[in-house]
Amino acid sequence: MSLFQRHPTHAACAALCLGLALPNLARASPPFLLLAVLAIATTAALARDNRFVVAALLLVGGWCWGSLRLEAIDRSPLSSRIGTAERTRVVVTAEPRRGRFDIRAAALVVRFGSLHVHEPVLLRLPLQRAPPQGAILAGVGQLAPPRPASNGFDERAWLRRHGIHVLLRLDTWRVVGRRGGLGGVADRLRAWLAGSVACGLHGEGVVLGDDGGLSDALRQRFRASGLYHLLAVSGQNVALIAAGALGLAWLFGLSRWLGELGALAGIGGYVLAVGPQPSVIRAGIAGALGSLAWLSARMTDRWYFLLVGAALLLAWNPYTVLDAGFELSFAAVAAIFVLVPRVQHILEGYPLPRTLAGIIAVSAVCGLATAPVLWLQFHAIPLLTIPANALAAPAMVPLLGLALIGALLSPIAPAATVAIAWVNGWLAAYLAACARLVGGLPGAQIRSPVAALLLLAGALLVAAYASGRKWRLSSSPST
**Quick one: CA dihedral 181, 182, 187, 192, positive or negative?**
positive
Q: What is the DSSP string of 8-54?
A: HHHHHHHHHHHHHHGGGT----HHHHHHHHHHHHHHHHHH--HHHHH
pLDDT (tens, 9 = 90+) of the chain, 479 residues, equals: 455 566 778 888 898 999 999 999 988 777 776 677 667 666 666 666 677 778 888 888 899 899 999 999 999 999 999 999 999 999 999 888 887 788 999 999 999 998 999 999 999 999 888 898 899 999 999 999 998 877 777 888 889 998 999 999 998 899 999 998 888 888 888 887 777 665 444 455 566 666 666 777 888 888 888 888 777 767 777 777 887 788 878 878 888 888 878 888 888 888 887 877 777 777 777 777 777 776 665 656 778 888 888 899 999 999 999 988 888 888 888 888 888 888 888 788 778 888 888 888 888 888 888 888 888 888 888 888 889 988 988 888 888 788 778 777 777 877 787 888 888 888 888 888 998 999 888 888 888 777 777 777 776 676 666 555 544 545 555 44
In angstroms, the CA 15 to CA 52 distance is: 10
| Residue 445 bridge partners (DSSP) | 382
Would you say 12 and 55 are in contact if contact means Cβ atoms under 8 Å apart? yes
pLDDT, residue 205, reads: 58
- Please name which of 445, 470, 285, 280 lies closest in space to residue 370, comparing C-alpha atoms: 445
What are the start-end ranges of the H helices in 348-384?
354-378
Residue type, 299: M
User: Could you say which DSSP state residue 214 is in?
Assistant: S
pLDDT, residue 317, reads: 92
In angstroms, the CA 96 to CA 104 distance is: 6
pLDDT, residue 251, reads: 79
State if pTM tops 0.95.
no
pLDDT, residue 73, reads: 93
Residue type, 350: Y
